[in-house]
Amino acid sequence: MSFEGMGTSEYDEVCEGLNFPTDWPDGLLAHASAAIDGGLRVRDVWESMDHWDKFREGTLVPTIGRTLGDRAVAPETTTRELHTFYAHERVPA
């Protein structure tokens, strides 16, 4: 997702509204965000499009609206199916 005009402070407000990452969404495998070119980019890896659709419509969009009000920015969303996805599980020291 790309949020033009939205910064890390708004991102942090939305995460607080979601209680994220403590309340990790069902089906979310990986998440990252970065401030880029005056906006915010979020990259997620989801178990399925169904998981993403349920989270987006049932949780994310309402939380963005409730949290940011008139500062809410609709994201430009691009989806792709991955050919591979690897993650290394770290063992706590």
- For the segment 9-58, what is each residue's pLDDT rounded down to a tens digit? 999 999 999 999 999 999 999 999 999 999 999 999 999 999 999 999 99
Tally of structural domains, the chain: 1
Please report whether residue 32 resides in a domain: yes
Query: In which domain, by residue range, is 32 found?
Result: 2-71
Give pLDDT, residue 92.
74
Please report whether residue 23 resides in a domain: yes
Please report whether residue 51 resides in a domain: yes
Distance in angstroms (rounded) separating the CA atoms of residues 93 and 88: 15
Q: What is the dihedral of CA 20, 60, 12, 91, to 10 degrees?
A: 30
